[in-house]
């Protein structure tokens, strides 16, 4: 049986693109506005030239305060930005999957360093799209007065994801993946379990626990989600950003779990308005995964329940 990973990843990217395009076109035809505005009040012209006379008209329309993640600084040019992010990830992931079919994929220190550099570059590209329009603190909600709440949000969110993963396993998700002829273990997990080079293990931990939570959240929740929200609304934006987020990891076994995680992270970002919250959840989720793999390896603790 041929590996279904590439068709599944292509289908996921395609579904995200199709849903976004159809919804954005429909909303545009219906004339839906993302922000309500206050219409100017026209005041009759005054004959009195006194400096105490009322102005002839109020200032131009002013956007009302927006709930959740703001989108007022996004414009149609961000469709190009979204397209750029989409093409980078889809092209890179599909290309790497096709290369893996011809040669066995081996992760080494250079590959991990390259992965970290790529994450930094793509986060920089996403930042460059908006940095001239709004300050990063306002863009990402970094000046969050209720930031201590991340310590209350992250643990329950990670626990919820563990429940989801456990439920998928109980429902036979891993057995179904095995039946497709696909390795049910991600390459990153396999590396944590089998790599002997401490430098390689350290780089893997840095990539998973530090680089990924910060850079991926800047790209997918910081830019892709709110820019898409401008054109398709929060629910479809959350759906599409989660689809692209899951496909961008290039793993069939992780496709559904990461899609659910991406949707949860977008929901948390929308409700808090600060990127600190999804970064904290992402950090705790990846950190717990790395810690469990290290515990299983070096302390001989079983991760799988006995048969």
pLDDT in tens, 229-238: 999 999 999 9
Q: Are 217 and 150 in contact (CB under 8 A)?
A: no
Q: What is the pLDDT of residue 191?
A: 80
Q: Are 82 and 227 in contact (CB under 8 A)?
A: yes
How far is the CA of 24 from the CAs of 19, 51, 75, 79, in angstroms? Answer: 8, 48, 13, 10
**Residue 219 and residue 278: Cα distance in Å, rounded?**
12
Q: Where are the beta strands (DSSP E) in the chain?
A: 37-38, 62-63
Q: Are 41 and 59 in contact (CB under 8 A)?
A: no
Binned at pLDDT 50, 70 and 90, residue 63 comes out as very low
Diameter over CA atoms, the chain:
91
Q: Are 241 and 20 in contact (CB under 8 A)?
A: no
Residue 37's SS3 state is strand
Averaged pLDDT, 139-154: 83
Residue with tokens 């305060």, as numbered in its chain: 65
Best CA proximity match to 161, nearest among 260, 266, 291: 260
Taking the alpha carbons at both ends of the chain, their separation in whole angstroms is 27
Q: Write the pLDDT tens digit of every residue in 82-141.
A: 999 999 999 999 999 888 776 666 677 888 999 999 999 999 999 999 999 999 888 988
Residues with Cβ within 8 Å of residue 38, at least 6 apart in sequence: 61, 62, 64
What residue spans define the domains of the chain? Answer: 5-45+75-298
Q: What is the mean pLDDT of the chain?
A: 85
């Amino acid at each position: 049986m041929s590996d279904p990973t590439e068709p599944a990843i292509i289908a996921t990217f395609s579904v995200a693109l199709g849903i976004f395009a159809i919804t954005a076109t429909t909303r545009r035809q219906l004339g839906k506005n993302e922000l309500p505005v206050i219409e100017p009040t026209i005041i009759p012209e005054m004959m009195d030239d006194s400096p105490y006379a009322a102005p002839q008209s109020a200032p131009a329309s002013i956007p009302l305060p927006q709930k959740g993640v703001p989108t007022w600084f996004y414009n149609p040019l961000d469709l190009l930005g979204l397209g750029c992010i989409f093409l980078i990830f889809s092209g890179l992931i599909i290309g790497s999957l096709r290369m893996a079919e011809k040669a066995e994929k081996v992760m080494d220190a250079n590959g991990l360093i390259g992965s970290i550099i790529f994450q930094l570059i793509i986060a920089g590209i996403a930042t460059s799209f908006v940095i001239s329009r709004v300050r990063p603190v306002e863009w990402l909600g970094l000046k969050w007065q209720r930031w201590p709440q991340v310590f209350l949000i992250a643990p329950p969110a990670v626990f919820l994801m563990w429940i989801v993963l456990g439920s998928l396993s109980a429902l036979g998700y891993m057995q179904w993946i095995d039946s497709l002829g696909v390795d049910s273990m991600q390459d990153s997990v396999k590396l944590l379990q089998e790599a002997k080079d401490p430098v390689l293990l350290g780089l893997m931990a840095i990539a998973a626990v530090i680089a990924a939570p910060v850079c991926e959240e800047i790209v997918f929740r910081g830019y892709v989600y709110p820019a898409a929200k401008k054109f398709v609304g929060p629910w479809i934006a959350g759906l599409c950003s989660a689809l692209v987020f899951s496909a961008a990891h290039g793993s069939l076994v992780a496709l559904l779990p990461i899609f659910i995680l991406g949707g949860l992270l977008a929901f948390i970002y929308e409700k808090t308005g600060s990127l600190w919250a999804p970064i904290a959840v992402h950090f705790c989720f990846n950190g717990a995964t790395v810690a469990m793999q290290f515990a299983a390896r070096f302390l001989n603790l079983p991760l799988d329940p006995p048969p």
